[in-house]
């Protein structure tokens, strides 16, 4: 049995047949981990943008509500008169 740095084990027969000593699981894992890290960073960036947009929309909404309140106040006065 041969064990790599990541504790993957395979039989010596595999090495002889494939003609290389390097673990064939490790490159796939490294590739997957790298991809996962990139995806995590992209997700983090998306979350950051989404949060910034949410704040922007919340601010815009608050300003809009502020204007709506003014409109509602005048409407209420008009309704009270009728
Ligand atoms: Zn390995």
For 3-54, what is each residue's pLDDT tens digit?
888 888 877 665 555 555 678 889 999 999 999 999 999 999 999 999 999 9
Q: Provide the pLDDT for residue 1.
A: 79
- 12 CA distance to ligand 1 centroid (A)? 14
- 5 CA distance to ligand 1 centroid (A)? 6
pTM greater than 0.75 (yes/no): no
Whose tokens are 């929309």? That residue is 57
Pairing of strands 9-10, 2-3: antiparallel
- 24 CA distance to ligand 1 centroid (A)? 6
- 29 CA distance to ligand 1 centroid (A)? 8
The Cα–Cα gap between 70 and 18 comes to 78
- 30 CA distance to ligand 1 centroid (A)? 9
Q: What are the tens digits of pLDDT across the range 54-82? A: 999 999 989 988 887 776 666 666 666 66
Which value, in Å, is the radius of gyration of the alpha carbons in the chain? Answer: 31
Positive/negative CA dihedral, 47, 50, 55, 58 = negative
Q: Provide the pLDDT for residue 82.
A: 67
């Amino acid at each position: 049995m041969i064990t790599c740095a990541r504790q993957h084990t395979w039989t010596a027969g595999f090495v002889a047949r494939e003609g290389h000593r390097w673990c064939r699981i490790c490159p796939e894992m490294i590739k997957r981990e790298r991809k996962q890290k990139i995806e995590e960073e992209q997700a983090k960036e998306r979350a950051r943008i989404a949060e910034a947009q949410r704040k922007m929309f919340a601010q815009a909404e608050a300003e809009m509500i502020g204007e709506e309140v003014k409109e509602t106040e005048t409407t209420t006065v008009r309704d009270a008169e009728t």
